[in-house]
Structure 1
Amino acid sequence: MQKIILASQSPRRKDLLSHIVAKFSVQAADIDETVIPNESPITYVSRLSLEKAQHIFNSNPDAIVIGSDTSVIINDRILGKPVDLQDCINTLSLLSDKQHQVITAFTVMSKNKTITQVVSTDVLFKAVNEEEIINYWHTGEPQDKAGSYAIQGIGAKFVKAINGSVSSVVGLPLVEIEQVLKEVME
């Protein structure tokens, strides 16, 4: 069995991958995640997933490396992690009572093959008021989450509907990754 490495420090990605891969290790990929001017959201997440995988693969050339990146998008705008409470209020107010997209790109890299895919999921928020946002901020959950919310946590209370992959919104599209891993291991 070939060694599998998840190029991520996300506990959510680690937990998700454990549902489809029995044994793997985790190594954080320290890369620059700055958006390039005029870079589209799909190009951005694809580039980061590839760079994360490549960074870890460079020192583990006999392994299969999985890199991934997730962004919350509304009107072609990438919503990052909030820098403070006001940023969280602005972000969640923007998402309030609207549909947005969560896109996750993943790259599976081995010495024989590199495959990158993007999975897009539509998420519809309920109307959210400022008091709800402030209360949510004080739970500590949104501080390190793209788009200022976590669908797998308390933030699920804002999600009215979802069309697509729930695991992709959390950070790792399991159906697609399992399929690509089978292809890479052949």
Structure 2
Amino acid sequence: MSSIILASQSPRRKQLLEWAEIDFEVIVKATDEVYPPNLSVEDVPVYIAREKALAVQTFAQTVYHAEHRKEIIIAADTVVVLDDRIIGKPADRQEAIATLTSLSGKAHRVITGVVILEGKKEIAFADITKVWFHELTQAQIEFYIDKYQPYDKAGAYGIQDWIGVVGIKAIEGDFYNVMGLPISRVVQQLQLLKN
């Protein structure tokens, strides 16, 4: 029997797996989201996702040591990149305002690193979506931050929120990747594991 574990407490990743009709459970083990300074921006979210997956795999092996059960662990990390600089989650209102102001009227990349572990087998990849924002007014930025409190989101926004509806001009790539998980690619990889 194979069991799928999502190594993330993101409600959006959970929702995307549910939409894909995948049975899974959520197990999260705290990891430091630090990475070696020499990594490329594309490799950073994959590195962090791998750390999350390995922490949960170690925990799952100690709890579910019965031989009849095999775990498939899915972990992901999303970063927003503007001018080759990673923009993380905002610490407070001022940082969120500064972040959205810097994204306003420009294109940026959203990179989600995904690591899927099954025993010693690992599938790892990064999915990249380019996002263009309209010019945002100060009033729009402050309204969004005060109403939606995007402090748990890389880049201080959620594409599925109000800001995505009114502020995003175009995207090139997977919409769901910007939400936090390139779900169709994950489903394809899970099917390959089953074969």
Fold equivalence (TM over 0.5): yes
In the TM superposition, residue 142 of structure 1 has moved relative to its aligned partner by 1.6
In 1, Cα distance between the equivalents of 2:73 and 2:6?
Answer: 6
Give the 5 Å matches for 1:33-182.
33-61=33-61, 62-156=70-164, 157-182=166-191
Gaps of 5+ in 1: none
Gaps of 5+ in 2: 62-69
In the TM superposition, residue 43 of structure 1 has moved relative to its aligned partner by 1.5
Greater shift, 146-155 or 52-61, is seen at 52-61
TM-score, normalised relative to structure 2: 0.90
TM-score, normalised relative to structure 1: 0.94
State whether residues 113 and 184 of structure 1, in contact with CA within 8 Å, keep that contact through their aligned partners in structure 2. Answer: no
- The one-letter code matched in structure 2 to 1:17 is L
Alignment RMSD: 1.4
Of all paired residues, the percent bearing the same amino acid is 39
Runs of 4+ in 1 over 3 A off after TM superposition: none
Counterpart residue number, 2:18? 18
State whether residues 40 and 76 of structure 1, in contact with CA within 8 Å, keep that contact through their aligned partners in structure 2. Answer: no
The size of the alignment, in residue pairs, is 186
CA 1:38 to 1:93, structure 2 compared with 1: closer, same or farther past 3 Å? farther
In 2, Cα distance between the equivalents of 1:79 and 1:123?
Answer: 14
In the TM superposition, residue 57 of structure 1 has moved relative to its aligned partner by 1.0
